[in-house]
Structure 1
Amino acid sequence: MLFLGLLLLLPLLAGTRLLWNCWKLRSLHLPPLVPGFLHLLQHDLPIYLLGLAQKFGPIYRLHLGLQDVVVLNSKRTIEEAMVKKWADFAGRPEPLTYKLVSKNYPDLSLGDYSLLWKAHKKLTRSALLLGMRDSMEPVVEQLTQEFCERMRAQAGTPVAIEEEFSLLTCSIICHLTFGDKIKEDNLVPAYYKCIQAQQVTPEAPFSISGYDIPEGTVIIPNLQGAHLDEMVWERPHEFWPDRFLEPGKNSRALAFGCGARVCLGEPLARLELFVVLTRLLQAFTLLPPGDPLPSLQPLPHCSVILKMQPFQVRLQPRELGAHSLGQSQ
């Protein structure tokens, strides 16, 4: 009987909380609300959220269970919140699961915004940039050369190259994490300088695009929406890499996020992209394995991350390609 009573009590408590929240928000100008509570069960959540923007606009609310969430689906709204008003929207929710995992030691990725978090971020970024300047570029070059040699051993055969890229990236990160230690004497003064330079940001009303955002609301910047924003990109749904040859186009992409929560690994990732792609394209011609080109549609699964369908490529060494061309002539 006690168990049955608890089961009946839970919906009552949930309903009471929902009514209380609605009563508190009655005087605010809130974004439009998407009905329903089971949005997390939808396949390919970023694409689903972007689809809702066609009906409700680039900013709307929805319920993920009992959590009230505001979703931003355009580059303009994302940058307004994360760049222009970064101090208001730099926080992180701290659910019970996070507290159990972190044991009350906040980390940079999931920890809530604070002066200590900000100082730790500056220290970590400084250490990363210092390591890249002193040693990481030669390491990336060396590991990329080893990667190209492994690919040369598989020349002409279909290769799941995304797995090889993952292995290379993990190797670089492991060297960064467990390799030669960065001298601490160069970082300690910078750390204390970061601590001393902090000032408390004055409180201001939370708002995005004219809508009121209640304190404690979770904000989801849907980067898929920013990258398919028709106000920013011409033919956004087409695979058209030539678009980035135009000066300034790269600055429009938000692949690493933006604002206070921008990815700390962005400089290293850009270095890897440049070195790996340059060396790979110098050494090989990339060809399809004979089947149709890979599909750009993600695998259907319930996740906040889109996962592309598996694909393979053939890597033809460029000297072999030139030799074959000479024979054909």
Structure 2
Amino acid sequence: RMRAQAGTPVAIEEEFSLLTCSIICHLTFGDKIKEDNLVPAYYKCIQEVLKTWSHWSIQIVDVIPFLRFFPNPGLRRLKQAIEKRDHIVEKQLRQHKESLVAGQWRDMMDYMLQVVAQPSMEEGSGQLLEGHVHMAAVDLLIGGTETTANTLSWAVVFLLHHPEIQQRLQEELDHQLGPGASSSRVPYKDRAQLPLLNATIAEVLRLRPVVPLALPHRTTRPSSISGYDIPEGTVIIPNLQGAHLDEMVWERPHEFWPGMWGARGLL
């Protein structure tokens, strides 16, 4: 798709978004997704949910919850998009249950369905239910598509502005995989063989984290951090962006420099 657009401006995040959605669908729902050409429809559904979710008419309900009881076209559209999303996942769940073979799995949904309704052997842990499988698929599709596409896009931006690092990365890959082996796959267990690649990924995530603030947490007991007392029951929202740019921690906090991740000798 990108080669076909050679010589013209490319909306690279859209390309990465479609690619990421395709991979997640394949891992979650199996090979038949590609055979039936369902990825475009699933991608469109995900985009509808994300676009509607980010509209001001929805965001304001988070700030002023009682507004949900007033007429809100945006909220109605969001509910319709979520219903369509759930219909897609429920259809896949039903098809997987009908073709499930004990002890075998073709994808993540098969793997999780193998242990649905089986009591856990670990004390204190609950059993896995179909609802958990459903929401795990939703989390991967909705939470994984744009976040991954955004990170990949920033990686391209940084490397375009640092061609010397891009060249060293290519040399590292050529050395490990062989020149021209662009279709070769590197198993995750062999990632230690690519220290500059690992450092580059870490640096992209440091400078451009998927979200600047982490999810809210609540303290379960009185605590203290750097001399500040935090009572039990306090809501804590970690500032990831602030930590990633802390001059007390990072040598060159505002620069793209993979060398700070132990790859200095490679640059």
* TM-score normalised by the chain length of structure 1: 0.24
More strand by share: 1
More helix by share: 2
* TM-score normalised by the chain length of structure 2: 0.29
